[in-house]
Amino acid sequence: MDIKSVREYLGKDWDVVKEKIETSLMSDIALLNSTNSSILSNSGKQLRPLLALLIARACSGHKISEATVRYAAAAELLHNATLLHDDVADNSNQRRGVPTIMSLMGPSVSVLVGDYWLVKAMELILGSSEGDHLVIKIFSKTLSDLAEGEMLQLQKAQSGDTCEDDYLRIIYSKTASLFEAACVSAAISVDASDEYQKAARDYAVALGIAFQIKDDILDYSGTESVGKPLGVDILEQKITMPLLGAMMNAPAEESRVRSLVKGIVNHPENRDEIVTFVRDNAGLEYAVQQLDKYVAQAVEALSVLPSCVERVLLQDLAYFTAKRVM
């Protein structure tokens, strides 16, 4: 799977969404424009608008609408707004291997620019389409989910008692909910049937959960060359799927390991011991099993959609999620 080839297949539809993202951020403030341009030049895979376009076309016979473009662009703006805010909350100096706005310009600027992107996302949703009132509710729920997920994650970092249900709720709220908003709004934008809207929702939620599980696997098994140091989640007291799997496989060690995670702020040197514990107790293997389960659910959800290239690409993107290295 090559993301670039998906963009090329989408052709003018992708170009229109990209232009909408750029024009919606334009300001007469030169510093804001240059900051936005810097963010856009390092905007990663732009997976959410890609998914939105593919879902809309799969549900409609290769057609999109003016609303599709607005909703797809809004999903990308909202995603980047959350990253700008997350960088402040997590005190992150790098993202995707480059310095964050927070590290270059300070936390206040990162929050302000994030707020700007968030407002522009909401403006995009509020157009003249009949579905706009439904979509604004979907995106509003996503914003609520994001805040609740962040607070639950903070609460669990302090208590050190994250279980798998907690973890799944956190990653649904922080990751999968925005995948859901992008895909369901795209289906609505082309007047898709209730059955197709449900397929879009089920696909997006499963894919979003799989995407985050893969991220959490990479925190233990990736390489620092991808722009994310290993063990960051542990240093932030986050108990994720690989560690949950290892503790399940070695229950006698669970209490001790949870104590190590809870005290990691004062003893960061314990990170290596926790990483070794995960690797020695098949935590990564357990996480991969869960990842594969959600990828399979995402692919299965697409079975009700018409047979088309877009459906195949959506399936490929699910498999890509499981295989990606960054």
Dihedral class, residue 239 (left if φ above 0, else alpha if ψ from -120 to 50, else beta) = beta
What pLDDT shows up at residue 225?
42
pLDDT mean by block of 10 residues, the chain; 326 residues: 90 97 96 94 89 98 95 97 90 82 93 96 88 94 96 95 98 97 98 98 98 95 59 92 98 97 94 95 98 97 97 96 79
Residue 132: give the domain boundaries.
Answer: 3-323
Q: Which of 80, 194, 201, 69 is nearest to 138 (CA)?
A: 201
What pLDDT shows up at residue 286?
98
List Cβ neighbours of 208 (8 Å cut-off, separation of 6 or more).
Answer: 171, 172, 175, 176, 177, 178, 179, 180
List Cβ neighbours of 30 (8 Å cut-off, separation of 6 or more).
Answer: none
Q: Are 300 and 311 in contact (CB under 8 A)?
A: no
What is the phi/psi pair of residue 195, to 5°?
-65, -45
What pLDDT shows up at residue 223?
56
Distance (Å, whole) CA 18 – CA 198:
27
What pLDDT shows up at residue 222?
66
Distance (Å, whole) CA 168 – CA 150:
13
What pLDDT shows up at residue 226?
47
**Axis crossing angle, helix 47-60 with helix 66-89, rounded to the nearest 10:** 150
Distance (Å, whole) CA 6 – CA 42:
18
Residue with tokens 């302000």: 112
What pLDDT shows up at residue 130?
81
DSSP 210-259: HHHHHHHHHHHHS-GGGSS-TTHHHHTT---HHHHHHHHH-GGGHHHHHH
Domain at 46, CATH number: 1.10.600.10
What pLDDT shows up at residue 280?
97
What pLDDT shows up at residue 93?
85
Number of domains in the chain: 1
